[in-house]
Amino acid sequence: AQKITQTQPGMFVQEKEAVTLDCTYDTSDQSYGLFWYKQPSSGEMIFLIYQGSYDEQNATEGRYSLNFQKARKSANLVISASQLGDSAMYFCAMREGFSGNQFYFGTGTSLTVIP
């Protein structure tokens, strides 16, 4: 079974609008971390936001927030007030357990911001 599932291969959003990128995960661990990365066309991987499994509040970092629904095993990324520079691939990832050493990545979502 896939550890991380991103079901939206491509998304479009109007500039200044908000957009939600979906991510579901599969783990039997009680302790895990969820990460989102951005990959612009230049190719580098940029860390955006982190959510721990024991965190009771949703993580926020500037215009990025993570909608964490533990019972549903979902960790959706919300980008508010989209900008043209947000056009990129977005990857959801998970690291399991207190001593977990492997990161599992989804297949990514390509976001295009339309002016």
Partner 1 sequence: NAGVTQTPKFQVLKTGQSMTLQCAQDMNHEYMSWYRQDPGMGLRLIHYSVGAGITDQGEVPNGYNVSRSTTEDFPLRLLSAAPSQTSVYFCASSYSSGLSTDTQYFGPGTRLTVL
Binding residues vs partner 1 (CB under 8 A): 4, 6, 9, 31-33, 35, 37, 43-45, 47, 50, 52-53, 91, 93, 95-108
In the complex, the smallest distance separating the C-beta of residue 102 from partner 1, rounded to whole angstroms, is: 6
Q: Specify the residue, 18 or 45, whose C-beta has the smaller distance to partner 1.
A: 45
Alpha helices in the chain (DSSP H): none
Evaluate the CA torsion angle 73, 77, 80, 82 in order and state its sign: negative
Please state the closest distance from residue 58 (CB atom) to partner 1, in A.
Answer: 15
Q: How many CA atoms lie within 13 A of 11 on its CB side?
A: 25
Residue 54 CB, nearest approach to partner 1 (Å): 10
CA 10 to chain centre: 14
Residue with tokens 């991510």: 23
Single-letter amino acid code for the residue at 16: K
- Closest to partner 1 by CB, 28 vs 115, is 28
Of 53 and 82, CB closest to partner 1: 53
At position 56, the amino acid (one-letter code) is E
Q: How far is the CB of 46 from partner 1 (least distance, A)?
A: 8
Please count the residues of the chain. Answer: 115
